[in-house]
Structure 1
Amino acid sequence: MAGASARPGATHPDLADRRVLVVEDDATVREVVTTYLRAAGLCVDEAGDGLLALRMVEAAAPDLVVLDRLLPGIDGLEVARRMHRLAEVPIIMLTALGSTEDRIAGLEAGVDDYVAKPFSARELVLRVQSVLRRSLAEFAPEVAFDLGEFRLDPNRRTVWQRGTPLRLSSREYELLAFLLKHPDQVFTREQLLRSVWRWEFGDLSTVTVHVRRVREKIEHDVARPAILTTVWGVGYQLSA
């Protein structure tokens, strides 16, 4: 694993005591990842397989999961799907499979970010910190507001549609919340990647997959989207 000999990053007080579950069957990789995350001030639990990880999430959901793609028994994609049935926990997947199809499969399973093996342990720590800050929404309180058939409450990180709360993953919520705050504006996939994911570069299929997942939850007819629409040749627009 690249970067394993580098000095772990400094503790970040704003993330102190946040709980991360590391799910990795390779004991050496698991030990290195755990060491670096603890050096960054995080509380870390460990699991060597998917079944144990699922039991741990069911007992007490962590703030974030670092999940290996290739696990014995139940593979990482199935573990991610089952985890999201138990809790809306953000997931960073470690993978040696770098194809676009594999990344898309992970996004469809609810994965928030990907780190390819071999990886830098320090880079992984930064990715974990970035996803935690977004998912935990440690910012000044915002006022809830209504827009058409939607109600957004940023402090509870909840969106209601026609009075019913939507079941959204962390990243789906962030995408929908951003668009609700900017109704009728057209955004390219690059702009959404920067504004929602805070990535300056990355796989644009990430945006495409999450737009489709949000549509499945808010559109009356997914085949003919009327709320989150595509502006051909440009990007996406939410019309509430």
Structure 2
Amino acid sequence: MNTIMIVEDEDAISRVLAAYIRKAGFDCSIYRNGREAIEAFDAATPTLVILDVMLPGMNGWEILNHIRYKSACPVIMLTARGDVSDRILGLNEGADDYMTKPFEPEEVVARIHAVLRRPPRSLVSSEQVTFGSIRIDFKSHTVYLNGASLSITPRDLSLLMFLAEHPNQIFYREQLIDKVWGMDYEGSDRAVDLAIKRLRKLLLHWPPEEGEIRTLRGTGYMLYANTQ
């Protein structure tokens, strides 16, 4: 049976979530601090983790980093803060989705189903990837072109990092919004086109024989990379 791990120190929230998740047919376990959650995760990797940001002793970002170091297990972050910068940070750190309190338990269940329908997350085998003269450091969130670091906004960087994790794969605009910016994103899919335009300008001196961001008319985008 699919097991959902809830890491939440507020008893009322965790109990309600667990009740709805079990009603949806999942097994469910609750942990109220980071240390317990990490020990349980290491002992038996769950199907998905629902992870609160504000926890006693160890915050959600630290737990997320531990999970991503060893596993592609899907993670949905919960927080009382709704800042765009927080959502971008969560997605850049490897979260699969992000929900702001208060929320409806039914929506959490819907997001669980949505995340589990996605293709498995691609874990890079190292902390960085290199395609010719471009190097993307996933840990420091830095992009280098010909040895010089590039200045990229967090939102555009999250898009580039996702494409770099999945080179030579095609993604629709709607898929990129869902996978990169999350279901909480409010705006037009035109934002993807504008982000791609800005990234291409930054990568203008990346030799096309090494790679490029390609538009597939009527389909979407992909990061073409010469991996030979």
Q: TM-score, normalised by structure 2?
A: 0.62
For 1:1-240, list aligned pairs within 5 A: 17-135=1-119, 180-182=168-170, 192-193=176-177, 202=185, 224=206, 226-229=210-213, 237-240=222-225
Question: Any conservation in 2 of the 1:25–1:71 contact (CA below 8 Å)?
Answer: yes
Percent of pairs identical after alignment?
A: 34
Alpha-carbon displacement from aligned partner over 1:62-82 (angstroms, at most 9, x marks no partner) = 110000011111111111011
Q: Which runs of 5+ in 1 are unaligned?
A: 1-16, 138-156, 163-167, 212-220
Question: Whole-Å Cα distance in 2 between the matches of residues 173 and 130 of structure 1?
Answer: 21
- Residue 239 of structure 1 and its aligned partner are, at CA, apart by 2.1
- Residue 119 of structure 1 and its aligned partner are, at CA, apart by 0.2
Question: Any conservation in 1 of the 2:169–2:223 contact (CA below 8 Å)?
Answer: no
SS at match of 1:239: strand
Per the alignment, residue 3 of structure 1 pairs with none
Question: Whole-Å Cα distance in 2 between the matches of residues 56 and 207 of structure 1?
Answer: 38
Do the aligned partners of residues 135 and 21 (structure 1) sit closer, same or farther apart at CA in structure 2, a change above 3 Å counting? Answer: farther
- Residue 28 of structure 1 and its aligned partner are, at CA, apart by 0.9
For the aligned residue pairs, the C-alpha RMSD in angstroms reads 4.1
Matching residue's letter, 1:84? R
| Structure 1 segments (4+ residues) deviating >6 Å | 157-162, 171-174, 197-201
Alpha-carbon displacement from aligned partner over 1:73-108 (angstroms, at most 9, x marks no partner) = 111111101111132211001111111111111112
Question: Whole-Å Cα distance in 1 between the matches of residues 90 and 123 of structure 2?
Answer: 24
Matching residue's letter, 2:108? L
Do the aligned partners of residues 201 and 35 (structure 1) sit closer, same or farther apart at CA in structure 2, a change above 3 Å counting? Answer: closer
Question: Any conservation in 2 of the 1:193–1:201 contact (CA below 8 Å)?
Answer: no
Alpha-carbon displacement from aligned partner over 1:178-236 (angstroms, at most 9, x marks no partner) = 76244xxxx78556326x579787268x989xx9xxxxxxxxx9x958535388xxx95
Question: Any conservation in 2 of the 1:24–1:49 contact (CA below 8 Å)?
Answer: yes
